[in-house]
């Protein structure tokens, strides 16, 4: 088959789906029409391909498939999780801690560093696991939706059902109304064929296809009508990546943008890291100065190493390693819950991004409306019926009923399905063919008539005549023969000036009264009887008006972007509350794209409707709003506007005149940009979906291309589901801030208590393992509890936050400072004045027993001063003359436990403490932990809501976390011993430390009465409709806050 058409020549057949005339010209000139191309491909259009040709053609022109985008494996996702700044700093701190620990204490020095690395490992595993399971979930949904698809082809002269991916160039495909077009092809058999190309070109109306004119059919589009034929046939000329939507698919490449929360968390991590390093350096410097003043010789090096370990510990404490885990847990929890709310999250970060969306650019059909034409009002001979009453047929007079329902049922070319393949009732009827006719058939069904049965009863295809809709006459008709031999003509149609359908009939005694040629062309008559006038529209979804109002009250600008004419668009937008004629602006696509970037910026705050818009208009609108995809320099600008230089555009002369502008100009006009959510269902929407901060594709009507380009799939196609996504997104954002409020309180107190303890010459009050308990266990538990708080509708009562708004709000800062101050005062009191509450407790990590004499020495405790003196004289090689000092013994003469360096009093003695009393620091540690447990309840509110128990019963996980944390704290205190350097506490000591921590609860209530409000400049978004009306009278208004 070496003499077949060259692949490049075949690919050049279609330059664009919109260029019908140019495409037809190339077909005729280069291939002598469809039949000529078939001959060149050696295709018999009546028999289809021979089996032996299929593989040869597949090798020559490619397969009707796309290389599946490789799914990232778990290992790759695991590796990508380490791109997080916080995790990288943690790993560095862990390595330093591990090295120093092993040098100083080879037996247990590895514990601190390994524990930190384990915390990092948990975060990375959870992140990778959630990303992997999310990808698997979407792939499974995609596979389920595709595996049952089959197309009919002619091969070897017989009809065969094959999977679309098995098609090759030259295949003859047989299609019926409602079929998706599986590849680009040329129509060669069929009359009255129409296809809907809105998913590819944005053209909302069905387009007529004829073999002798516009015969081009495109993959990803749908066949809507085939006239009076049962089916139509096309020959495939382009498959897979060479098809028109394959070419669009190949352009969908963009760099992932950081979400606002990710940007803020990165900045927060850097800030916390700088503060931690500053404290660590200051502590290390102060300790080295003290060491240098008090010690000399080899001892200085040992002390400096200890000081460095303390500094590293401070850095570890300062970094909130629980923060990325909290983000992951909150996103994963919300993602699962959002799936139940009809939101399939494809990009995990899109969940929180939706929370601060300032714009939603929404399609009309299927999102705001039902996507099903419906009869809503009518005049039936002598009655006017509106609303729900039209669905009741009892009020019809017998005279009207017979004529109307017969016209509805017989005079149609569409079919309507009320049940699925399993015989179950569909949630809404499926119309194949004209949506307008479908509305009338559904109306007849609601009256109790089965259209298929009625047509079978009254219409005889061999005897009667059917006249499909004619664009010149603007009506469709059917001529039937009555049992008595008379004839009746049923017609339905509409005048240009009317948005209604008229149903009429005309009776004829016999065929002699009809015009010649009536078998082909419907009879014309000025005396037809008008039976009914039916008003039909695609009604708004029942929850749209409320959902739009909710979004607007949340400071989100809802914009309708549609291909409808501007009058229709404004009417529908006004009905659902999007368009306010007194304030808003409605533009048509051609006018919009002709504007200068500066002019667009001026109108954007009031632009509520963009009608007669193309997919590129939607893309330009999105990029102008958020700045994504705008050319960054002259090279990119020329590549976008005049790649080949044929238009003669100049960067200097035209850069400020063409949308979407260029980056430098955009940044001058827009300080931060908008956070934009865009809905889309067609292939042509893919570029806008990718440019948006959150792309929202439709799960029911959306094409595969749109879904692959989107971040969230709206499974039920409802606008109200998008609003719920905003609520969940804000819930994620606030949950992270709740955890941050809790986490920073923990870290501020821990950092300062270790810093102050080190400067006072004491051992760190919280040792490294205590730190890891607080930082790993407490943080993980806190992330689990606060990251899974369910959102409430109250979140939609405020506007979204700006991209650059601080994560820590003024009320949060108040809460952190009050709780941190209380905890620090409490812990310093316990550190320096433990005897006030616990008189029997020895201060610091007091020594219970000493080792004297090195490896051969023995442990002594409870000796009198004289016994001790005698032992030292016998053991030490260079004991002092007077070795019994009262300061080392209590009044009874027993050895007094102290942290004094006894070895300094006995030159030549090798003395080390063999047993410590950890009770003092254990009490401090227990009080500190219970302060955090009770403050975790306080952290449930980041605003002024003092009732921190509100809704707690609805979050059993939070309660479980508190209980588990208490149990683990008990175990680590009572069973940790030398490993954790904790001591057994008495019942009284437990009771007092828990009570001290519980003070955080009443303090949390009182601190919320301190009058602190959020900074108004932290918010962005748009004014509510009421605020818009109030501001519209002022110069320039103030819509964008």
User: Is residue 39 one of the residues assigned to a domain?
Assistant: yes
Q: What is the pLDDT of residue 233?
A: 93
pLDDT at 351 over 50: yes
Q: Are 366 and 373 in contact (CB under 8 A)?
A: no
Percent of the chain beyond pLDDT 90?
26
Q: How confident is the model at residue 600 (pLDDT cuts 50, 70, 90)?
A: very high
pLDDT at 775 over 90: no
Q: What is the model's pTM?
A: 0.69
Tens of pLDDT, residue by residue over 125-182, are 877 876 676 667 556 655 655 565 788 899 998 888 888 989 999 999 998 876 789 9
pLDDT at 474 over 70: yes
pLDDT at 824 over 90: yes
* Of the candidate ranges 272-281, 656-665, 759-768, 916-925, the one whose mean pLDDT is the lowest: 759-768
Q: By residue range, what is the domain housing residue 633?
A: 629-669
* Of the candidate ranges 613-627, 821-835, 848-862, 864-878, the one whose mean pLDDT is the lowest: 848-862
Task: Please say which residue of 863, 881, 915 terminates a domain.
Answer: 915
User: Is residue 1006 one of the residues assigned to a domain?
Assistant: no
Kind and range of the H or E run holding 617: helix 615-626
pLDDT at 1032 over 90: no
106-117 exposure pattern, b = at least 16 Cβ within 10 A, e = fewer: eeebebbbbbbb
Is residue 801 classed as helix, strand or coil in its secondary structure?
strand
User: What's the mean pLDDT in 469-493?
Assistant: 86
Q: Are 659 and 597 in contact (CB under 8 A)?
A: yes
User: What's the mean pLDDT in 488-499?
Assistant: 77
pLDDT at 229 over 80: no
User: Is residue 463 one of the residues assigned to a domain?
Assistant: yes
pLDDT at 523 over 90: no
Q: Are 505 and 403 in contact (CB under 8 A)?
A: yes
CA distance 77 to 58: 35
Task: Please say which residue of 513, 537, 561 terminates a domain.
Answer: 537
CATH number at residue 199: 2.70.150.10
Displacement of CA 673 from its chain's centroid (Å): 19
Catalytic (active-site) positions = 363
Q: What is the pLDDT of residue 197?
A: 82
Q: What is the pLDDT of residue 57?
A: 92
Q: What is the pLDDT of residue 83?
A: 80
**Range ranked top by mean pLDDT from 81-85, 288-292, 427-431, 981-985:** 981-985
CA dist 422 to 83, 426, 442, Å? Answer: 49, 10, 21
Q: Is 286 exposed, middle or buried (0-12, 13-18, 19+ CB in 10 A)?
A: middle
Q: How confident is the model at residue 1024 (pLDDT cuts 50, 70, 90)?
A: low
pLDDT at 275 over 80: yes
Q: Are 567 and 587 in contact (CB under 8 A)?
A: no
CA distance 724 to 614: 28
CATH number at residue 361: 3.40.50.1000
Q: Per the structure block, which two tokens stand in for 603?
A: 């109108």
Q: How confident is the model at residue 903 (pLDDT cuts 50, 70, 90)?
A: very low
User: Is residue 523 one of the residues assigned to a domain?
Assistant: yes
One domain, residues 528 and 617:
no
One domain, residues 591 and 708:
yes
Task: Please say which residue of 711, 726, 741 terminates a domain.
Answer: 726
One domain, residues 430 and 570:
no
One domain, residues 650 and 532:
no
- The dihedral through the CA atoms of 952, 955, 959, 962 has a sign that is negative
Q: Are 900 and 698 in contact (CB under 8 A)?
A: no
* Of the candidate ranges 159-163, 288-292, 648-652, 935-939, the one whose mean pLDDT is the lowest: 288-292
Q: Per the structure block, which two tokens stand in for 828?
A: 């310093």
Q: At residue 198, what are phi and psi to the nearest 5 degrees?
A: -60, -30
Tens of pLDDT, residue by residue over 539-571, are 888 889 999 999 999 999 999 998 888 998 999
Q: What is the pLDDT of residue 102?
A: 78
Q: How confident is the model at residue 906 (pLDDT cuts 50, 70, 90)?
A: very low
Q: Per the structure block, which two tokens stand in for 388?
A: 């729900």
One domain, residues 49 and 195:
yes
Q: What is the pLDDT of residue 525?
A: 78
Question: Phi-psi category of 363—alpha, beta or left, where left has phi over 0 and alpha has psi -120 to 50?
Answer: beta
CA distance 871 to 941: 63
pLDDT at 89 over 50: yes
pLDDT at 531 over 70: yes
Q: How confident is the model at residue 846 (pLDDT cuts 50, 70, 90)?
A: low
User: What's the mean pLDDT in 278-293?
Assistant: 80
Tens of pLDDT, residue by residue over 331-347, are 778 888 888 888 988 88
pLDDT at 884 over 50: no
571: number of Cβ within 10 Å:
13
Q: For residue 850, which of 861, 836, 842 has the smallest C-alpha distance?
A: 861
CA distance 121 to 595: 53
Q: What is the pLDDT of residue 804?
A: 78
Q: Are 233 and 189 in contact (CB under 8 A)?
A: yes
Q: For residue 790, which of 904, 672, 958, 677 has the smallest C-alpha distance?
A: 958
pLDDT at 861 over 70: no
- Mean pLDDT (the chain) is 80
CATH number at residue 463: 3.40.1110.10
One domain, residues 575 and 656:
no
Q: How confident is the model at residue 449 (pLDDT cuts 50, 70, 90)?
A: confident
User: What's the mean pLDDT in 531-546?
Assistant: 89
User: What's the mean pLDDT in 442-460?
Assistant: 85
User: Is residue 304 one of the residues assigned to a domain?
Assistant: no
Q: What is the pLDDT of residue 889?
A: 45
Q: For residue 303, which of 287, 317, 280, 314 has the smallest C-alpha distance?
A: 287
Rg (CA), the chain: 39
One domain, residues 425 and 493:
yes
* Of the candidate ranges 6-15, 121-130, 483-492, the one whose mean pLDDT is the lowest: 121-130
- The dihedral through the CA atoms of 678, 341, 80, 264 has a sign that is positive
Tokens 């699962």, residue located: 336
pLDDT at 1013 over 80: yes
- The dihedral through the CA atoms of 541, 545, 550, 553 has a sign that is positive
Q: Which residue has the higher pLDDT, 782 or 761?
A: 782
Q: Are 334 and 732 in contact (CB under 8 A)?
A: yes
One domain, residues 411 and 476:
yes
One domain, residues 679 and 576:
yes
User: Is residue 923 one of the residues assigned to a domain?
Assistant: no
One domain, residues 562 and 664:
no
pLDDT at 753 over 70: yes
pLDDT at 873 over 70: no
Q: How confident is the model at residue 204 (pLDDT cuts 50, 70, 90)?
A: low
CA dist 631 to 251, 625, 1000, Å? Answer: 16, 14, 53
Q: What angle do CA 405, 412, 424 make, to 5 degrees?
A: 80
Q: What is the pLDDT of residue 586?
A: 96
**Range ranked top by mean pLDDT from 416-420, 421-425, 933-937:** 933-937
pLDDT at 672 over 80: no
User: What's the mean pLDDT in 90-105?
Assistant: 72
CA distance 886 to 329: 59
One domain, residues 559 and 616:
yes
Tens of pLDDT, residue by residue over 676-717, are 999 987 666 778 888 899 999 888 877 666 777 788 999 888
CA distance 18 to 262: 41
**Range ranked top by mean pLDDT from 53-57, 140-144, 191-195, 468-472:** 53-57
The total of structural domains in the chain comes to 5
User: Is residue 836 one of the residues assigned to a domain?
Assistant: no
One domain, residues 585 and 615:
yes
Q: For residue 504, which of 489, 514, 518, 517 has the smallest C-alpha distance?
A: 489
Q: Are 321 and 779 in contact (CB under 8 A)?
A: yes
Tokens 């047929």, residue located: 393
Residues 6+ apart with CB under 8 A from 792: 727, 731, 951
pLDDT at 84 over 80: no
Q: Are 503 and 438 in contact (CB under 8 A)?
A: no
Q: Which residue has the higher pLDDT, 139 or 620?
A: 620
CA distance 292 to 297: 10
pLDDT at 310 over 80: no
User: Is residue 864 one of the residues assigned to a domain?
Assistant: yes
Q: Report strand pairing: 676-680 vs 359-362.
A: parallel
Q: How confident is the model at residue 848 (pLDDT cuts 50, 70, 90)?
A: low
Q: Report strand pairing: 694-698 vs 676-680.
A: parallel
CA distance 1037 to 1041: 10
454-484 exposure pattern, b = at least 16 Cβ within 10 A, e = fewer: bbeebbeeeeebbbbbeeeeebbbbbbbeee
Q: What is the pLDDT of residue 702?
A: 77
Percent of the chain beyond pLDDT 70?
80
């Amino acid at each position: 088959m070496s003499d077949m058409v060259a692949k490049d020549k075949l690919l050049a057949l279609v330059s664009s789906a919109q260029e019908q005339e140019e495409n037809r010209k190339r077909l005729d000139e280069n291939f002598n029409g469809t039949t000529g191309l078939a001959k060149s491909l050696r295709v018999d259009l009546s028999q289809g391909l021979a089996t032996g040709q299929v593989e040869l053609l597949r090798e020559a022109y490619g397969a009707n498939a796309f290389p599946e985008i490789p799914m990232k494996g778990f290992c790759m996702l695991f590796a990508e999780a380490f791109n997080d700044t916080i995790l990288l700093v943690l790993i560095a701190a862990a390595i330093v801690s591990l090295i120093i620990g092993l040098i100083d204490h080879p037996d247990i020095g590895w514990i601190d560093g390994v524990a930190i690395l384990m915390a990092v490992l948990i975060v990375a595993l959870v992140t990778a696991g959630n990303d992997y399971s999310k990808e698997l979930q979407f792939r499974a949904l995609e596979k389920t939706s595709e595996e049952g698809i089959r197309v009919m082809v002619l091969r070897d002269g017989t009809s065969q059902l094959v999977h679309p991916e098995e098609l090759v160039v030259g295949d003859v495909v047989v299609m019926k109304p409602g079929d998706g077009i599986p590849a680009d092809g040329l129509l060669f058999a069929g009359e009255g064929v129409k296809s809907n190309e809105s998913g590819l070109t944005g053209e909302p109306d069905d387009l007529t296809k004829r073999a002798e004119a516009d015969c081009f059919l495109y993959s990803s589009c749908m066949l809507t009508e085939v006239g009076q034929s049962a089916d139509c046939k096309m020959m495939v000329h382009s498959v897979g990546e060479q098809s028109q939507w394959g070419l669009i698919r190949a352009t969908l490449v963009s760099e992932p943008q950081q979400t606002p929360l990710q940007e803020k968390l990165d900045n927060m991590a850097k800030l916390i890291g700088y503060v931690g390093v500053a404290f660590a350096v200051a502590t290390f410097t102060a300790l080295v100065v003290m060491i240098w003043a008090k010690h000399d010789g080899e001892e200085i090096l040992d002390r400096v190493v200890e000081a460095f370990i303390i500094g590293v510990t401070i850095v570890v404490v300062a970094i909130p390693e629980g923060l990325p885990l909290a983000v992951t847990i909150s996103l994963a929890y919300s993602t699962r819950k959002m799936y139940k709310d009809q939101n399939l999250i494809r990009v995990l970060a899109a969940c929180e991004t939706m929370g601060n969306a300032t714009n939603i650019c929404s399609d009309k059909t299927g999102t705001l409306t039902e996507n099903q034409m419906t009869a809503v009002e009518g005049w039936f001979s002598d009655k006017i019926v509106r609303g729900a009453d039209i669905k009741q047929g009892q009020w019809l007079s017998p005279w009207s009923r017979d004529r109307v329902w017969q016209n509805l049922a017989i005079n149609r070319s569409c079919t309507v399905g009320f049940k699925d393949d399993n015989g179950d009732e569909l949630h809404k009827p499926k119309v194949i063919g004209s949506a307008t006719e479908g509305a009338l058939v559904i109306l007849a069904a609601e009256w109790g008539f089965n259209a298929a049965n009625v047509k079978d009863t009254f219409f005889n295809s061999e005897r009667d005549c059917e006249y499909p809709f004619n664009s010149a006459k603007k009506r469709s008709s059917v001529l039937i023969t009555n049992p008595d031999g008379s004839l009746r003509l049923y017609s339905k149609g509409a005048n240009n000036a009317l948005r209604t359908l008229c149903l009429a009939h005309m009776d004829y005694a016999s065929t002699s009264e009809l015009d010649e040629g009536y078998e082909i062309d419907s009879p014309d008559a000025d005396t037809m009887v008008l039976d009914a006038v039916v008003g039909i529209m695609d009604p708004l979804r029942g929850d749209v008006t409320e959902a739009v109002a909710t979004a607007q009250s949340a400071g989100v600008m809802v914009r309708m972007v549609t291909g409808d004419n501007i009058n229709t668009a404004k009417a529908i937008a006004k009905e659902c509350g999007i368009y306010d004629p007194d304030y808003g602006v409605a533009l048509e696509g051609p006018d919009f794209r002709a504007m200068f970037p500066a002019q667009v910026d001026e109108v954007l705050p009031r632009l509520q409707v963009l009608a007669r818009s193309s997919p590129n208009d939607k893309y330009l609108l999105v990029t102008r709003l958020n700045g994504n995809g705008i050319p960054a320099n002259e090279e990119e600008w020329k590549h976008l506007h005049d790649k080949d230089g044929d238009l003669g555009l100049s960067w200097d002369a035209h850069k400020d005149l063409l949308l979407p502008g260029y980056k430098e100009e955009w940044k001058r006009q827009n300080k931060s940009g908008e956070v934009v959510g865009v809905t889309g269902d067609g292939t042509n929407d893919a570029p806008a979906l990718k440019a948006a901060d959150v792309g929202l594709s439709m799960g029911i009507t959306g094409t595969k291309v749109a879904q692959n380009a989107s971040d969230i799939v709206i499974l039920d196609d409802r606008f109200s589901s998008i609003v719920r996504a905003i609520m969940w997104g804000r819930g994620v954002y606030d949950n992270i801030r709740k955890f941050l409020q809790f986490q920073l309180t923990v870290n501020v107190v821990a950092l300062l208590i270790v810093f102050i303890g080190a400067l006072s010459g004491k051992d760190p009050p919280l040792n490294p393992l205590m730190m890891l308990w607080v930082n790993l266990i407490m943080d993980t538990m806190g992330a689990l509890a606060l990251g899974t708080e369910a959102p409430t509708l109250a979140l939609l009562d405020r506007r979204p936050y700006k991209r650059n708004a601080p994560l820590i709000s003024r009320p949060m800062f108040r809460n952190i400072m009050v709780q941190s101050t209380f905890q620090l005062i409490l812990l310093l009191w316990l550190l320096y004045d433990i005897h006030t509450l616990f008189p029997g407790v020895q201060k610091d990590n007091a020594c219970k027993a000493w080792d004297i004499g090195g490896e051969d020495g023995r442990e002594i405790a409870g000796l009198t001063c004289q016994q001790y003196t005698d032992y030292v004289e016998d053991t030490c090689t260079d004991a002092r003359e007077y070795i019994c000092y009262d300061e080392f013994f209590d009044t009874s003469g027993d050895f007094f436990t102290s942290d004094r360096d006894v070895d300094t009093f006995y030159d030549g003695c090798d003395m080390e403490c063999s047993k410590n009393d950890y009770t003092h620091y254990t009490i401090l540690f227990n009080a500190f932990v219970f302060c955090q447990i009770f403050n975790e309840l306080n952290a449930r509110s980041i605003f002024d809501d003092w009732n921190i128990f509100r809704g707690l019963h609805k979050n059993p996980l939070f309660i479980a976390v508190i209980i588990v944390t208490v149990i683990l704290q008990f175990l680590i205190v009572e069973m940790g011993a030398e490993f954790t350097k904790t001591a057994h506490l008495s019942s009284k000591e437990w009771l007092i430390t828990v009570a001290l921590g519980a003070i955080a609860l009443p303090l949390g209530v009182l601190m919320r009465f301190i009058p602190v409000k959020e900074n108004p400049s932290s918010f962005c978004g748009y004014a509510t409709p009421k605020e818009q009306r109030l501001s519209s009278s002022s110069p320039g208004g103030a819509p964008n806050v």
